[in-house]
C-alpha cells in the first residue's frame, strides 16, 4: 500500500511558519519523527517513510500554493495512486485555532491550494486534514492574517495540535479515513 501526504505551503523564508504554511510544519514534524529528510525533486521536496508495511511519500510542493495541484497531480500519477490514498494538509479559516477536522471530500472554500488541486485532479473527492487557523482579523486583512506568523497565545496551542495532526496522519494510513475521522473529529 502506498500513500501520498501533501503538506500545503509556500516556499521561501518569508513564508516559513506562517498560518498558511501549517501544512509544511505538520509534514516537517512527521519527517522529524521518522528521522527522514526532504530532497528536491520534480515540483516538490520529497521524503519517504515506512509505517507498518505501508510506503508513505511526503511532499512539500515547490510550486507555490496557487499551483499546488500541479505537484499533487504529478506525484499521484508517478506513484499510480487513487485520490483515496492521498491526504492534503491545509490551513482553514473556518475552523478555530486549536482544532483539526478530517474530511473525505469538499469544496475549496476559497483556499487557492485546494482550488488548484480540485481543478487539476478534476475532483473534490480526496481526503484532507483541515487545520484551524481561525478568522480573527479585521475586514480586508485576510491575506495579511493568513500569511502572518502565529501570535504568542496561538503559538502555545499550535505545537500540541501539530503533534495531534501527525497522529491523525498515522491513523489515516493504518486505520483508514472513516476510523480516523471518528477518532479525531471530536
CA 179: distance to chain centroid? 19
Residue pair 120/150 in contact (Cβ under 8 Å)? The answer is no
Phi, psi of 163 (to 5 degrees): -60, -45
Q: Is 20 one of the annotated active-site residues of the chain?
A: yes
State the DSSP code for 148. Answer: S
> Reduced to 3 states, what is the DSSP secondary structure of residue 128?
strand
Q: DSSP secondary-structure letter at 149? A: B
Residues paired with 131 in a beta bridge: 91, 100
CA–CA gap between residue 56 and residue 72 (Å, rounded): 14
Residue 139 grid cell: 475586514
The answer to whether 160 and 118 have CB atoms below 8 angstroms apart is: no
Contacts of 90 (CB under 8 A, 6+ apart): 8, 22, 23, 111, 113, 114, 128, 129, 130, 131
Choice among 17, 20, 111, 163 that is catalytic: 20
Residues designated as active site? 20
Amino acid at each position: 500500500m502506498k500513500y501520498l501526504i501533501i503538506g500545503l505551503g509556500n516556499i521561501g523564508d518569508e513564508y516559513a511558519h506562517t498560518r498558511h504554511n501549517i501544512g509544511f510544519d505538520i509534514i516537517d514534524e512527521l519527517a522529524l519523527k521518522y528521522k527522514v529528510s526532504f530532497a528536491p525533486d520534480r515540483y516538490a521536496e520529497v521524503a519517504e517513510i515506512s509505517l507498518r508495511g505501508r510506503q508513505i511519500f511526503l511532499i512539500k510542493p515547490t510550486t507555490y500554493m496557487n499551483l499546488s495541484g500541479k505537484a499533487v497531480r504529478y506525484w499521484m500519477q508517478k506513484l499510480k495512486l487513487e485520490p483515496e490514498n492521498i491526504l492534503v494538509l491545509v490551513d482553514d479559516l473556518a475552523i478555530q485555532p486549536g482544532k483539526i477536522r478530517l474530511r473525505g471530500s469538499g469544496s475549496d472554500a476559497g483556499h487557492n491550494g485546494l482550488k488548484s488541486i480540485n481543478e487539476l485532479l478534476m475532483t473534490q473527492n480526496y481526503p484532507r486534514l483541515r487545520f484551524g487557523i481561525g478568522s480573527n482579523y479585521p475586514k480586508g486583512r485576510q491575506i495579511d492574517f493568513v500569511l502572518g506568523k502565529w501570535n504568542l497565545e496561538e503559538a502555545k496551542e499550535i505545537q500540541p495540535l501539530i503533534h495531534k495532526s501527525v497522529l491523525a496522519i498515522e491513523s489515516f494510513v493504518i486505520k483508514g479515513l472513516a476510523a480516523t475521522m471518528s477518532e479525531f473529529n471530536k
